[in-house]
Chains A and B, each alone.
Chain A
Amino acid sequence: MKNSTIVKLSIIALVLAAISFWSGQQSYSWFPPQASLEAKLIDGLFSFLVSLGTFIFLGVLGTLSYSVLFQRAAKYDYSDGPAIEGNNTLEIIWTVIPFILVVWIAFYSYQVYSQMSIQGSKDHSDSEAIEVYSRQWAWEFRYPKNNVVSSELHLPVNQRAFLKLQSEDVIHGFYVPAFRVKQDIIPGKTIDFEFTPILEGKYRLRDSQYSGTYFAAMQSNVIVESPEEYQRWLASSAKAKRTPSYNQAYQEFNNKKSKLRGWRSIKPAEPPLVNNLSPGE
């Protein structure tokens, strides 16, 4: 290779690397708020993947674009290009480098996954495990030590949250985008699930595994609050009377005024009886 070619290629690689790094930094802003420890880890991994991906994408796209712009046949030029059938060195390089890259990605992902350890731990003697019941199409949260049933998931900030996920009919999915964690809930099993909220606020819990007619409506609020507020909420809820909560699927199913015609649906479960009734719902 000529020296001038090497210089040119190096400059291009540097520019690409700069753009890729910049994209990786941008990628943090494409997510919902970073409301859990797991979110930090996952966003960091994604940023790395975006940088790497941008570099490869722009590198290949740039090469192709150069060919398309500058290597076109003249109108009446029916000759062939050079009869290059391959290059063993090049082919080995572009097999080995991607191999190393994916091993690197897999290793990094493995580390992140072990740090998250969202699955399976039963060792949570000092914290209360919250029971999460899912059914077509409602979420119900039980705090057994305080005898509280809620239609919203309340969690204290900066404490490991332990959930026992259960489904009473079909497979549902526990998914809070702000926490970046997700777990299918398999009927007939209790699934231990844990994560650590780190940012106070109100987030959305969405069913992430298609569960039939009112799947899209199966959402709930997640409220992350200071430990004091959390305790206060538990105490006041424990005193409140249990009443049926608002449930969108149930409302829609029983709304005879709807103009939309459809087929027969599974009947939604009765709205759960809960201690709290949050304003507006």
Chain B
Amino acid sequence: MTNITNVAIEPANWRRYFSFSTDHKVIGIQYIVTSFFFFLVGGLLAMVVRGELITPESDLVDRTVYNAMFTMHGTIMLFLWTFPVLAGLANYLVPLMIGARDMAFPRLNAVAFWLVPLLGTIMMLSFLVPGGPAQAGWWSYPPVSLQNPTGNLITGQVLWVLAVAISGVSSIMGAVNFVTTIFRMRAPGMTFFRMPVFVWTVLAAQIIQLFGLPALTAGAVMLLFDLTVGTSFFDSAKGGDPVLFQHFFWFYSHPAVYVIILPVFGVFSEIFPVYARKPLFGYKFVAVSSIIITILSAFVWVHHMFASGTPPWMRMVFMASTMLISVPTGVKVFAWVATIWGGKLRLNTPMLFALGALVMFLFAGITGIMLAAVPFDIHVNNTYFIVGHFHYVVYGAAVLGIYAALYHWFPKITGHMYYEGLGKLHFILTFIGTNLTFFPMHPLGLEGMPRRVASYDPEFTFWNVLASIGAFLLGVSTVPFILNMIGSWSQGEKAPKNPWRAIGLEWLISSPPMIENFEELPIVTSEPYGYGGDHALVANLEHLEIDHE
């Protein structure tokens, strides 16, 4: 269904990755590689933060520099790493998994991607303007974000708002494309309850983008007006309401956590059945729970504001809704455990990463329920307990889950096998590093260390030193990954169509798949995850499935 003439003029070598390609697979790789570059940048900023915090005094960098480091670390990690890398994975996999030749709107897809390097460049340029990059935290709460000590019109904060707005536009374009593709482009026989859970989770996540992003984008535009043309939406000195911004911000930015974690749940749901050789336990429950999470996620944002200027009734209502969202999430965790139970496990790199991610997600889920309890949250709100909790989500679960996905689909994407030894080394370093960095943040928060501080009382030194050592270990842990990816892509053993004996449309076609993916569109005849069963996944293309190792 894509434009065939476009395909013909695209170069078939490495240059296509630097071109305005409309092939969803090229765009997927463009997203993943670009965002990984920014992951490294964001990681370096985190090293500076942890370097400063290895001693109680503010002695490594100036306080303004420290504030810029944690602001840009959070911003880059969310808007230039987590969102785009997941958009990349979904771009690559969704059309393959539903039996489509491409996304519904290939050109829109390319535009959405090319906005990412643009906003990345704006973020990087903000380091060069007088006054430095934004220093108001990734939340950019006014009035701090409205303060402008340089007096210039173009400040790091203005560029920050601009870049975030561009990110919003890019994500909305992506969301329109994903939702349309999943609704309209499924192969014959691919009913909703025959879609792999990864597709369900991408759908659930992208619906969140559609209803949530307008709020954030509106908030960002109002902030931009307050900053540049002197309006007073949020400026309390001129009668504005700074708490209003918090509502705009969290109305999107809490559901955004589910935009990140839902596709990772999808990855878990794909990987566990393959390496446990069992069907996904309770497929329909798991699939539907994603949509329930999407609905509930729209009603929990005030739990970020339990200590803010919120009345007691509001705190209680949002405590209840936040508690409820743990139920569909729990359903998924139990379903994965039941999938693994009694299986025939193969602990290769993707499975190790997925298992590690699941354990850390479980921990984060439990501390999450604690945080939903308003009285406890009032003590640890804005302390390191929160930082520890959400890094277990966004690093422990999401980054490890993304690594699991990259290893699992690496043979499909590149046509080469990765090196298992380096992969396992990468896993061990990452798993130890993650826990060493983020576990100590929990006791620090319980003892009352606020987040975002450049200096702290000496009583907090012990756990901070551990966290800093862990962070440097995490920095080192990316080295075997990078070596593995570059080495195996160029030198690795050729991958067969289906090295993992996995069931799924993407494993029926060549590695890497040809342009437009399928010679003839598959006709789907059964539910996914038919491990141990004997029903065929498709009616045609059947001859391809014999191509086992």
Contacts and interface: CB of A to CB of B under 8 A. Distances in A.
Q: Do A and B come from one complex?
A: yes
A215 B449 CA distance: 13
B362 A60 contact: yes
B345 A67 contact: yes
Contact of A177 (B149, B277, B340, B447): B447
Contacts of B346: 72-73
Interface string B116-159: 00000000000000111001110001011001011000000000
A264 B345 contact: no
Interface string A48-74: 011001001100110110011001110
A67 B359 CA distance: 13
Contacts of A98: 326-327, 330-331
Interface in A144-163: none
Given A94-B334, A175-B382, A212-B144, 13 more contacts: A30-B447, A60-B334, A64-B340, A67-B345, A71-B344, A85-B281, A171-B143, A173-B382, A186-B309, A204-B448, A216-B452, A264-B150, A265-B63
A177 B379 contact: yes
B453 A216 contact: yes
Interface stretch (A1-9, A39-47, A229-237): A39-47
A214 B63 CA distance: 7
A189 interface: yes
B473 interface: no
Nearest to B280: A85
B65 interface: yes
Interface string A206-224: 1111111111110100000
Contacts of A87: 281-282, 338
Interface in A70-85: 71-73, 77-85
B83 interface: no
A105 B324 CA distance: 11
Nearest to B334: A94
Closest 10 CB pairs of A and B: A177-B448, A262-B62, A83-B532, A216-B453, A263-B132, A73-B344, A262-B64, A80-B532, A102-B323, A86-B282
Interface residues of B, number: 101
A94 B330 contact: yes
Contact of B452 (A83, A215, A265): A215
B373 interface: yes
Interface of B: 58-59, 61-65, 67-68, 130-132, 135-137, 141, 143-144, 147, 149-150, 236-237, 239, 242-243, 276-285, 307-309, 311-312, 315-316, 319-320, 323-324, 326-327, 330-331, 333-335, 337-338, 340-347, 355, 358-359, 362-363, 366-367, 369-370, 372-376, 378-379, 381-383, 443, 446-448, 450-457, 501, 529-533
14 contacts: A49-B373, A60-B334, A64-B355, A71-B343, A84-B281, A85-B280, A85-B283, A85-B529, A99-B324, A118-B378, A171-B143, A212-B147, A213-B67, A262-B65
A84 to B, nearest CB: 7
A187 B242 contact: yes
A109 B242 contact: no
Contacts of A108: 373
Nearest to A67: B340
Interface in A83-131: 83-87, 90-91, 94-95, 98-99, 102-103, 105-106, 108-110, 112-113, 116, 118-120
A142 interface: no
Contacts of B379: 42, 177, 180-182
A200 interface: no
